[in-house]
Amino acid sequence: MNLQGEIILIDDDSDDREFFEIAYNDLNCVNKLKKFATSQDAIDYLRDPKVRPFMIVSDINMNTTNGLELREVIFHDEELHEKCIPYIFMTGGENPMQAKEAYKKSVQGFFAKRNSMDEYKKLLSYIINYWQHAIPD
């Protein structure tokens, strides 16, 4: 895990990406935010050996490759897996079955997106602060 690396956001909903970005920018984090609308674009970017992100925040419900499938690709790709990137789901609903499935795939968090900007910022701040205190690889 690279504490100085980018935060990778993967969400096929442009409104959700924008809401995340507004909340993120208000937190004045030092990590750069890199946004992707598709899982494939994110995978292509992550495969660059020079890319060492801080964390991945992904929606679970996406049109092409969903978040669970994307997690599987990253987890089973030796080069990507060795980058030790925390993988967090932030999704539009509280679905216990999806949460259970996600945790079976060794994700590091499963959170429901918030509707208010203040609540979204609190959640995002909590997640980032937690991982900023982890011991890097």
Per-residue pLDDT, 129: 94
Give a yes or no: residue 90 inside a domain: yes
Q: Tell me if 73 is assigned to some domain.
A: yes
**What is the tally of structural domains in the chain?**
1
- Residue 83 tokens read as 């980058």
Say if 57 falls within a structural domain: yes
Q: Can you give the residue range of the structural domain that contains 60?
A: 7-132
* pLDDT tens column, 40-97: 999 999 999 999 999 999 999 888 888 999 999 999 999 998 898 999 999 887 788 8
Structure tokens at 76: 């089973």
Does residue 1 fall inside a structural domain? no
2 in a structural domain: no
Q: Given phi > 0 = left and psi -120 to 50 = alpha, else beta, which region is 21?
A: alpha
The C-alpha atoms of residue 71 and residue 58 are separated, in whole angstroms, by 9
Q: Compute CA distances 84 → 1, 14, 16, 53, 136, whole Å.
A: 5, 27, 26, 9, 9
CATH of the domain at 115: 3.40.50.2300
Let me know if residue 39 belongs to a domain: yes
Tell me the pTM.
Answer: 0.92
